[in-house]
Amino acid sequence: MFERAVFWLFRLATYFILAAATYIFLDIGIKGGRTVFTSTAPFINVPFLTEPPQTLYVFDFEGKKMTLSDREFRRWKTEHPGTEVEATSIAYSAGGIWPCIVGTALLVIGSMVLALGIGISSAIYLSEYSRNGPLIRLVRIAILNLAGVPSIVFGLFGFGLFVIFFGWNVSLIAGWFTLGLMVLPAIITASEESLRAVPQGLREGSLALGASKWQTIRKNVLPYALPGILTSSILGIARVAGETAPIMFTAAYAMKDEMPWQVQRFTDFFFQGVMALPYHIYVVSSKIPQNEYTERVQYGGAFVFLFLVMLIALTSIVLRERSRSRLSW
C-alpha cells in the first residue's frame, strides 16, 4: 500500500513536468498563433514578420472602434480632414517584429563567431598542449566559475567594461563580447570533450608518420572533433538568442527606426544598438501599460521566438545524428 503511494507520488511528479510544458506550449501556441497565423492565404501574418513595430492608435469613430497603426492612422487623418478624435496610443503594439528578428540574428552570429574562435582555441590548448599544473587547474576553476555566473552579472560586467570603460556605448560589438563571454565556458567544455573523444591512437599514428603536433591536430584531430563541437555549440546559440539580461544594458534598444544595415559608415555597423526579440518581449510585457491590445505582440513575439529556438535545437539534433553515423571508431 505504502509502496503504491510512493510509486504514484513519483509518477505524478514526472507527469507534472509534462503538464507544465503542455500548458506553456499551448498557451503561447494558441495566443501567439492568433497573431502569427491568419485565416486567409498565405495563412501566415507576413507583415508581423517583416515590418517594424509601430504605435497602435485606438479611438471611437461614428460608433465604431478603430484600431490603426501609426502609418494607417496618419493616412486616415488625411482622408478625414477636420475630424478631431480622442485616440489612445499604445506603443509597439502595431506592426511587426522584423528588426527584433534581425537584431537577434546579428547578436547570435557575432557572439558565436567570437565564442567559437576563443573557445576552440583554448580547448585545443587545454586538451592537446597544456600539461597539468597549478595554472591549468586555476584555468579550469575559472571556467567552472564563469559557467555559474548569473546572466545579469554578465550584463552589468559588459556594461561596465565594454559600454562605459571602452566607450563602445550600447552597441552590437558590446553585446557580442558580453554574450560571447557568457557562452564561452559551455563552448570550451564541449570542445574539450569532443577533442578528448578522438582516440589517442589517431594522434600517435599521425605523429609516428612524421607529422608535427600542429599538423596532427589540424589534419587528424580537429576534423573529427568538429561535428561534436558544432552540435554542442548550437545549444549555445539557443542560450545566446534567449538571454535578455546580458544585452539589456549592452546592445539592445527598445525601439530603433533604422534597420542595422542602414548605417552611414561601415564602422558604424558595429557600434549601433539593435532591437532584439527577448528584449522586445520584455519591453512590451512590462514597460508599457497593459491592456487587451498589448497581448498581440507579446504572444506573437513569444511564439516566433520559441519557434526559432526549437528550430535551432532541432538542427543540432539532426546534425549530431548525422555526424555520429559518419564517424565511428
Partner 1 sequence: MVTVLEMPETISPITVNQPAPAPNPEAERDIIEIDSVDFAYGANKVLHDIILNVPPRAVTALIGPSGCGKTTLLRCLNRMNDLIDGAGITRGSIKIEGIDINAPDVDVVDLRRRVGMVFQKSNPFPKSIYDNVAYGLRIAGITKRSLIDEAVEKSLRSAALWDEVKNRLHVSGYGLSGGQQQRLCIARALAVEPEIILMDEPCSALDPIATAKVEELIRQLKQQYTIVIVTHNMQQAGRCSDHTAFFYLGHLIEFDRTAKIFSNPAQRQTEEYITGRFG
Per CB under 8 A, 328 contacts partner 1:
yes
Q: Which is nearer to partner 1, 7 or 129 (CB)?
A: 129
Using alpha carbons, select from 242, 228, 257 the residue that is nearest to residue 329: 228
Would you state the torsion angle of the CA atoms of residues 285, 290, 293, 298, taken in this order, to the nearest 10 degrees?
Answer: 10
Give dist(CA 144, CA 179) in Å, integer.
17
State in angstroms the smallest separation of the CB of 192 from partner 1: 17
Query: Which one of 24, 142, 209, 311 is in contact with partner 1 (CB under 8 A)?
Result: 209
How many CB atoms are located within 10 Å of the residue 171 CB? 22
Using alpha carbons, select from 327, 133, 76 the residue that is nearest to residue 220: 327
The vertex-323 CA angle with 321 and 325, nearest 5°, equals 70
CB 176 within 8 A of CB 111: yes
Per CB under 8 A, 327 contacts partner 1:
yes
State in angstroms the smallest separation of the CB of 325 from partner 1: 12
Query: Which one of 5, 148, 208, 264 is in contact with partner 1 (CB under 8 A)?
Result: 208
Q: Which is nearer to partner 1, 49 or 202 (CB)?
A: 202
Query: Which one of 204, 258, 268, 321 is in contact with partner 1 (CB under 8 A)?
Result: 204
Residue 131 per-residue DSSP state: P
Using alpha carbons, select from 168, 166, 172, 194 the residue that is nearest to residue 111: 172
Query: Which one of 22, 88, 121, 215 is in contact with partner 1 (CB under 8 A)?
Result: 215
The distance in angstroms from the start CA to the end CA of the chain is 50
Q: Which is nearer to partner 1, 47 or 205 (CB)?
A: 205
Q: Which is nearer to partner 1, 114 or 198 (CB)?
A: 198
Q: Which is nearer to partner 1, 82 or 210 (CB)?
A: 210
Per CB under 8 A, 199 contacts partner 1:
yes
C-alpha separations of 325 from 21, 198, 236, 244, 314 in Å: 31, 15, 23, 36, 17
CB 53 within 8 A of CB 293: no
Span near partner 1 by CB under 8 A; candidates 94-102, 108-116, 205-213, 263-271: 205-213
Residues 114-173, interacting with partner 1 (CB under 8 A): 131-132
Burial class (CB in 10 A: 0-12, 13-18, 19+), 31: middle
State in angstroms the smallest separation of the CB of 126 from partner 1: 14
Please give the grid coordinates belonging to residue 93.
503594439
Query: Which one of 205, 262, 310, 322 is in contact with partner 1 (CB under 8 A)?
Result: 205
Task: Count interface residues toward partner 1 (CB under 8 A).
Answer: 22
Per CB under 8 A, 287 contacts partner 1:
no
Using alpha carbons, select from 203, 227, 224, 226 the residue that is nearest to residue 215: 203
Give dist(CA 287, CA 119) in Å, integer.
36
Per CB under 8 A, 201 contacts partner 1:
yes
Give dist(CA 96, CA 44) in Å, integer.
12
Q: Which is nearer to partner 1, 75 or 219 (CB)?
A: 219
Q: Which is nearer to partner 1, 210 or 289 (CB)?
A: 210
β-strand partners of 69: 56
Query: Which one of 49, 143, 147, 202 is in contact with partner 1 (CB under 8 A)?
Result: 202
State in angstroms the smallest separation of the CB of 187 from partner 1: 24
Residues 216-275, interacting with partner 1 (CB under 8 A): 219-220, 224
Span near partner 1 by CB under 8 A; candidates 114-122, 197-205, 250-258, 302-310: 197-205
Q: Which residues bind partner 1 (CB under 8 A)?
A: 131-132, 199, 201-212, 215, 219-220, 224, 327-329
